[in-house]
Structure 1
Amino acid sequence: MNIKDVRTSEVWGYIGEVFIEELKYIIGEDDLKEFWVKNNGMNSRASSKDVTNVTTYGYATANDLKEAIFIHMSRNSIYHHLPEVFFHPIAISHPNMSNKEVVAAIRKNRRTEQENIHFFIPFDTEFFKKKVGLVNRYLNIFTDPNAKQNLFTLARDIVAKDLALNKEQLYKLFLNLCFSEKLKENLPALAQLLTNIMACTITVKYLPKEFSETPFKNLGEGILGHNAGLQGKVSSEFDDIVATIISNQQMKYQIIQQYMKTLKKILEFFVFANRDIHVRYQTSGIDEFILNKSYLGYNTAISISN
């Protein structure tokens, strides 16, 4: 374990929670199974740097020699937050004490302080580890299991639709919803997005919209577009959207219906509300109807006799 590499790297200026993760990367996470945090208290000289020193301590166990790392930080320990009267006398000197006795009392007070700081090291370390876990949720939001679960929960609440998507699919949809303005009405990009989310080929295109029934109200006894003024179907200025699911293998009807329902709900995020969305299913495989060793329509025919 080379602590010199740590002292000369840029991670020396990081806050403690980030520093410990970088330390694991530099020296190897397996070598950092045991570390302790020693909070030496806040002071003006070290206020600009969170981690002031890193030292190692070797100790022997019944079967092996082990090495622990001490991370010295310029933070207040639990000891510093407790009333001083718990550990030290109200006054360390008296009027009748000599200078030598005053110096000895001050040194004793300092030793007591260091002993108390050392006593609270296990407790400070546990608090520090909890803070590291919280910081990791933000630094590793896409990889940390707890943070990722929170992200999925957040994504599900924001999407607020009953979609038959697994966590990874919902995650992809949520990230792309953050850039929905760029994907709005961008059919090639939407087709690629839907293909990635649904894990099957999907095409998206415009479909001219025509009204088979006139949308206009009666004008007396005449109806515009029916028996007055216009003939034939009425075309809308807004086209519809048609999305086609293309599969190269046969799928169950229930699964197809689920895919079509989910696809329509996803498209509602990215197209104008006045467009109707049509979803179709198309198979690119070959459907074969086998009668024993014969093929219907190839070497076998159906005859109807009366």
Structure 2
Amino acid sequence: MLNGEGSFTDRKYNQLQTDFRVEAVAANILKYYDTQANIYIKRIGLNDRAYLKDIKGITTSSYDLDEENIIIETYREGIYDYLPEGIFHPPSLGASSTNIDSVVREIRKQKAVEDDARKFFQPFELEFFYTHVSALLKESEFDAENKTNALLEFACELWPVLRKIDQKSAKILVHILPFIHEVRGNKNWIEKFLSAFLNVPVNISFLPNTVEEQDDKEGITALGNARLGVTFIPTGKHMDGDRNWMINIGTIPYDEIHRYIPGSSFRELLRELYDFFTPVSVKIFENFITEKKDESFVLSIDNELNRLGYSTFL
């Protein structure tokens, strides 16, 4: 019995519109019912597979009064079916005898030899079966609905900076990473990505790029070295027509302000993301919008909520 909820054979493992694979059913038994269950697969050939499902039936049995074993019969070919005919028993139905009883006895004899041959190959087939089940169980660890941190641990090995931020933000980023290639260079998708990752509204506006560098740093213009429109402009600094990006983040709750302070691990990760999906030719400026509360300013040494320029202004 499994978990004291009755025999598994009493449950409906297939519906009219479903045809589950044997490996999927076995993996669910091990994952949701009994991790120590003994499961055996019995391949009975493809004779009836054309109009039936992959699983013929699920039964339970106990050998030598031992623990309960789950036996799953499936319409699949085994190693025996792939071997040439006549390896385990020579053909004998073509004999001159036409006695019906002798023919029936010979058929039963060959059937018994076939059953013994299938039992001989069953340990090898079970190893293949367990390999497939183990692969499914390992794959299920990386599902989005799985509550384990297997996917996060795997990502941390490739991207160690994830270990420096809080687990909630790291999980959100890991699940968004498969779609990050669609975000790159797309302003609207960058806003959606950052909003989902930061869990706060994000808006990107454009700022004109201002050029202040000049070749004539001493203030003496040498016309031979000056370039009109680049370093020789009567009005001084100028806008060259390019646009930089202003990333407006907020409203940020007060209990999350410390994550956006320069030098924090979360801020470093945020800058790395900017470098990945923003154009190389633009400069990134940030504008953090914090909550407006009447009683937000409280002087305290241990309080990380009061930050000059973020939540407190002069």
Query: Does TM-score exceed 0.5, indicating one fold?
Result: yes
Query: 1:168 offset after TM fit, Å?
Result: 3.9
Q: What residue is the counterpart of 1:50 in the other structure?
A: 54
Q: What residue is the counterpart of 1:165 in the other structure?
A: 162
User: Runs of 4+ in structure 1 displaced over 6 angstroms?
Assistant: 144-147, 200-204, 244-247, 250-253, 279-289
2:129 matched to 1:128?
Answer: yes
Distance 1:147 1:121, change over 3 A: farther
Taking the aligned partners of 1:226 and 1:86, their CA distance within structure 2 comes to 88
Q: What residue is the counterpart of 2:105 in the other structure?
A: 104
For normalisation by structure 1, the TM-score amounts to 0.65
Query: 1:68 offset after TM fit, Å?
Result: 1.6
Match of 2:177 among 171, 174, 179: 174
Query: 1:235 offset after TM fit, Å?
Result: 1.5
- The letter of the residue matching 1:34 is N
Q: What residue is the counterpart of 1:240 in the other structure?
A: 244
Q: What residue is the counterpart of 1:211 in the other structure?
A: 211
Query: 1:37 offset after TM fit, Å?
Result: 0.5
Match of 1:17 among 7, 18, 23: 23
- The letter of the residue matching 1:180 is V
Q: What residue is the counterpart of 2:83 in the other structure?
A: 82
Distance 1:79 1:97, change over 3 A: same
Q: Answer whether contact 1:207 1:242 (CA < 8 A) is retained.
A: yes
- The letter of the residue matching 2:275 is E
Q: What residue is the counterpart of 2:70 in the other structure?
A: 69
- 1:5-30 Cα offsets, whole Å, 9 max, x none, are 326635862222223345567xx522
Match of 2:11 among 5, 16, 35: 5
Q: Answer whether contact 1:264 1:278 (CA < 8 A) is retained.
A: no
Q: What residue is the counterpart of 2:195 in the other structure?
A: 192
Q: How many residues align?
A: 272
Distance 1:73 1:150, change over 3 A: farther
- 1:48-76 Cα offsets, whole Å, 9 max, x none, are 52212222223443xxx632221111111
Q: Answer whether contact 2:183 2:277 (CA < 8 A) is retained.
A: yes
Distance 1:174 1:116, change over 3 A: same
Taking the aligned partners of 1:250 and 1:170, their CA distance within structure 2 comes to 15
Root-mean-square deviation over aligned CA pairs? 4.6
Match of 2:39 among 35, 40, 43: 35
Q: What residue is the counterpart of 1:294 in the other structure?
A: none
Percent pairwise identity: 22
For normalisation by structure 2, the TM-score amounts to 0.64
Distance 1:227 1:181, change over 3 A: closer
- 1:207-236 Cα offsets, whole Å, 9 max, x none, are 442111259xx9867643588664132124
**Secondary structure at the counterpart of residue 34 of structure 2:** helix
**Secondary structure at the counterpart of residue 269 of structure 1:** helix
